[in-house]
């Protein structure tokens, strides 16, 4: 099974990298640039000295979906399904917090179309998506070395599953609006094993390193993320739940890496990550232990 990884290394690089794991039907390009053409989060982390790896999960972006390997895929998403939720939530009011959304780059009338053009097919179940990323996990960590996983949305469960494979190779996790909490019934599957759709294949504790969850003020993910953070705290994990409005970042929706204040969100993430990596014990498998039995393809 293949995935596509692009990487970038600053001239004076830190000894820990950052690996971006996209969500749903998205792709790694979401972190390279914004829909209105500004530099994306990759550039902010490079300026901060991190080597950066950008994963296109199996079947996404530059890793073409092959049904004979990955199984069936859902149809490509429609404008009617995604555009109101991600681009114009305040106009459509699909959830109470949607009225606060104010950060989509609407000064560029084509930004919404560019976002939609980046969205592709995805697995028919969350369990299948998890298995796909677990299959490429060992090769991914051989490439990244010790790394911080920055996951987004449906890439969140994939991030936990990767951490169970990577163990001490995963220094920290920044989970941006990760999908899932224990028992959540999603159209693509039930979260039957904590924050994953099925028990991770890796033998390490998925949550045994510093974790930060980021949630936007105008997102429908607020309750889900709060329940995920509570689950981690109950396990005794090292976790912080960052509500962006409490840090002066107002009006963000689910695609905060694409929004007008994306640079400010990245700056907050980097400052939090600096604190997470500061202790000498960073990178060790702390927290509540639960043992579990150039561009390239990996």
pLDDT tens per residue across span 141-195: 999 999 999 999 999 999 999 999 999 999 999 999 999 999 999 999 999 899 9
* Alpha-carbon distances of 267 from 41, 45, 182, 247, 263, rounded to whole Å: 9, 9, 30, 11, 6
Given pLDDT bands bounded at 50, 70 and 90, which one contains residue 295? very low
Given pLDDT bands bounded at 50, 70 and 90, which one contains residue 279? low
Could you give the CA distance from residue 24 to residue 156 in angstroms, rounded to a whole number? 10
Q: What is the number of residues in the chain?
A: 298
Token pair of 219 as six digits: 């997102």
The half-sphere exposure of 139 on its side-chain side, counting CA atoms within 13 A, is 16
| Mean pLDDT, residues 220-237 taken together | 97
Give the bridge partners for 190, in sequence order: 185
Residue 278 pLDDT: 87
Question: Domains of the chain: which residue ranges?
Answer: 4-280
Given pLDDT bands bounded at 50, 70 and 90, which one contains residue 254? very high
| Mean pLDDT, residues 261-274 taken together | 98
Instruction: For 4-280, give the CATH class.
Output: alpha beta
Could you give the CA distance from residue 166 to residue 200 in angstroms, rounded to a whole number? 12
Lowest mean pLDDT among 32-46, 161-175, 201-215, 280-294: 280-294
Residue 6 pLDDT: 97
DSSP letter (8 states) at residue 258: G
| Mean pLDDT, residues 262-267 taken together | 98
Given pLDDT bands bounded at 50, 70 and 90, which one contains residue 240? very high
The half-sphere exposure of 115 on its side-chain side, counting CA atoms within 13 A, is 27
Given pLDDT bands bounded at 50, 70 and 90, which one contains residue 1? confident
pLDDT digits (tens, 9 = 90+) for 26-71: 999 999 999 999 999 999 999 999 999 999 999 999 999 999 999 9
Could you give the CA distance from residue 41 to residue 212 in angstroms, rounded to a whole number? 17
CA dihedral (9, 12, 17, 18) positive or negative: negative
Cβ neighbours of residue 104 closer than 8 Å, sequence gap 6 or more: 86, 87, 88, 111, 112, 253, 255, 258, 259, 260
pTM check: above 0.75: yes
Please provide the average confidence, as pLDDT, over all residues in the chain.
Answer: 93
């Amino acid at each position: 099974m293949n995935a596509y990884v692009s990487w970038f290394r600053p001239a004076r690089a830190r000894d820990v990298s950052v690996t971006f794991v996209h969500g749903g039907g998205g792709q790694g390009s979401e972190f390279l640039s914004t829909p209105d053409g500004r530099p994306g989060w990759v550039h902010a982390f490079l300026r901060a000295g991190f080597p950066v790896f950008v994963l296109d999960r199996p079947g996404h972006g530059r890793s073409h979906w092959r049904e004979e390997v990955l199984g069936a895929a859902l149809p490509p998403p429609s404008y009617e399904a995604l555009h109101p939720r991600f681009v114009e939530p305040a106009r459509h009011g699909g959830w109470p917090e949607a009225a606060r959304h104010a950060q989509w780059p609407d000064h560029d009338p084509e930004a919404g179309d560019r976002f939609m053009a980046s969205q592709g097919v995805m697995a028919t179940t969350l369990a299948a998506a998890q298995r796909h990323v677990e299959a490429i996990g060992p090769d991914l960590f051989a490439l990244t070395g010790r790394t911080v996983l920055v996951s987004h949305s449906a890439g969140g469960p994939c991030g936990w599953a990767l951490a169970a494979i990577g163990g001490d190779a995963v220094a920290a996790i920044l989970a941006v609006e990760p999908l899932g909490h224990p028992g959540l019934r999603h159209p693509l599957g039930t979260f039957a094993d904590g924050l994953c759709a099925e028990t991770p294949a890796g033998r390490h504790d998925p949550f045994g390193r510093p974790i930060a969850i980021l949630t936007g003020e105008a997102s429908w993910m607020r309750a889900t993320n709060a329940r995920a953070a509570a689950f981690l705290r109950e396990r005794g994990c090292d976790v912080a739940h960052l509500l962006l409005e409490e840090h002066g970042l107002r009006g963000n929706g689910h695609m905060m890496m694409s929004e007008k204040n994306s640079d400010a969100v990245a700056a907050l993430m980097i400052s939090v990550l600096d604190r997470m990596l500061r202790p000498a014990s960073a990178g060790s498998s702390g927290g509540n232990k639960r043992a579990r039995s150039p561009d390239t393809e990996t």
